[in-house]
Structure 1
């Protein structure tokens, strides 16, 4: 391999990766004073320094972000209060979970696909990370990891394959929901002016991701064969339950004795618990009896209007 011939093609990987890592940290809950201070004082200077290598975001965007962050930090309750109202406290107007934006639900098919990407590259969630695997902060940090991984390899084909995964992940599992999410932030600002800080942060993040995809396309102009051959989500769900397909047959409820269909997700959960030698009795009941034992009644989850109109 001629490293000199490919050096300019991969120069963007490290600075873009570091930029995405900075943005990923910025979307974590600013509950500690150190994190809030870093968000207010350090984020924009760090992005400005990296901009010399990436060309993004535009200087005007960074100026607007710096101003908005200072304004929000100085408001009553500071950055944490606004972050909580936007992303944590129901009815959250602009969820940071990609699954809600893409599927209209938590832990849906999109989240399954994200987790397959994490596992494909040998990653599991840090136990200290308390949110779900489709959180924007985790997505950004994962793509940053792929950039570092691609930059470290001296194998051109492996580098292109990793870049192909990064490009697919950004296009399909991130940028695909950004337009609707930014509209939600636009709406939120009309009711909560201090939300401007995260609207500007969202715009900067989109600009960086869009530029990154262009570079990734140049590095891996064709979808890598292994990526193209990736099974569909339905096939993946079937494959992971293949060893014990008999469990999909109607099961008898241990409480009322009535037959019920467990469903593929429940079957998979049952298999995982059995494989670990854990108790599965609580799953061997029909939905009505299972809910009754837990003191629950059937309910319907209503998503916020800002989310519902985009799913």
Structure 2
């Protein structure tokens, strides 16, 4: 399920838009990765198509995806070892996801208003909703969460970048502004929150690596300052 529903048809891509389309494809993959996984899937079931996408898209962008791949592989191995022993830690990936992001008290928030202004559903979320409406997209009716959810924002950027690749200068400009105003401001905090949770929840290492990949894919200025 995609968290956004488009209301504007896309034009044909420009000749120079290939790199941007690859970037958009990566962001679509990351948006899906931060959505709840299918019920009953193990981490290996979930990771396999994501790993294949990263293997394909990473080289096209000249982007090192080895950190994310290593985290996915390590978690698959951990799960497989637990499954062989019939260990209780061999839970489905949805259970692991819920432990991190859904079950109160939530360990890591995917509602980024918490990182931006210390509150969920506040001014930042309303500003994001306004951006979506201006661009002609809206949260899918089947997606029941706030406008500041990580997956909504990443997919929104993917849609804008895809429009830019197809010659929409307004879409490209809005993508740059949205990333600067919001995503760059919370992505580092999300990565840190996931990394801090690894001690109690090893699965968090996967999402910390994906957050880092998101930051690198969008050229997060704070990464360049280190």
Structure-2-length-normalised TM-score: 0.80
Matches within 5 A, 1:35-54: 39-54=46-61
35 and 15 in structure 1: CA distance in 2 versus 1, 3 angstrom threshold:
farther
Matches within 5 A, 1:214-225: none
| 1:78 correspondence with 2:85 | no
CA contact (8 A) 2:22 2:57 kept: yes
68 and 134 in structure 1: CA distance in 2 versus 1, 3 angstrom threshold:
farther
Which residue in the other structure is 1:241 paired with? none
CA distance in 2, matches of 1:63, 1:135: 24
CA contact (8 A) 1:68 1:196 kept: no
Which residue in the other structure is 1:173 paired with? 182
Tell me the secondary structure at the aligned position of residue 190 of structure 1. Answer: coil
Which residue in the other structure is 1:66 paired with? 72
Kindly provide the CA deviation profile for residues 153-198 of structure 1, in whole angstroms up to 9, marking residues without a partner as x: 3xxxxx3322111011112211211222222112101222232222
Kindly provide the CA deviation profile for residues 263-298 of structure 1, in whole angstroms up to 9, marking residues without a partner as x: xxxxxxxxxxxxxxxxxxxxxxxxxxxxxxxxxxxx
CA distance in 1, matches of 2:58, 2:25: 11
Tell me the secondary structure at the aligned position of residue 124 of structure 1. Answer: strand
CA distance in 1, matches of 2:42, 2:92: 12
Which residue in the other structure is 2:148 paired with? 134
CA distance in 2, matches of 1:172, 1:188: 26
Query: By how many angstroms is 1:86 displaced?
Result: 1.0
CA contact (8 A) 2:107 2:197 kept: yes
Unpaired runs of 5+ residues, structure 2, are: 1-13, 81-88, 222-226
CA distance in 1, matches of 2:106, 2:29: 24
Query: By how many angstroms is 1:211 displaced?
Result: 7.0
CA contact (8 A) 2:31 2:152 kept: yes
CA distance in 1, matches of 2:92, 2:153: 25
Query: 4+ residue runs of structure 1 moved beyond 3 angstroms?
Result: 33-38, 71-75
Query: By how many angstroms is 1:123 displaced?
Result: 1.2
CA distance in 1, matches of 2:41, 2:199: 29
18 and 49 in structure 1: CA distance in 2 versus 1, 3 angstrom threshold:
same
Matches within 5 A, 1:187-206: 187-206=196-215
Matches within 5 A, 1:1-311: 7-8=15-16, 10-33=17-40, 39-56=46-63, 58-71=64-77, 73-74=79-80, 75-153=89-167, 159-210=168-219
Structure-1-length-normalised TM-score: 0.59
Identify the structure with bigger relative contact order (alpha carbons < 8 Å, sequence gap 6+).
Answer: 2
CA distance in 2, matches of 1:118, 1:180: 23
CA distance in 2, matches of 1:108, 1:50: 35
CA RMSD of aligned residues (A): 2.3
Tell me the secondary structure at the aligned position of residue 191 of structure 1. Answer: coil
Tell me the secondary structure at the aligned position of residue 137 of structure 2. Answer: coil
178 and 126 in structure 1: CA distance in 2 versus 1, 3 angstrom threshold:
same
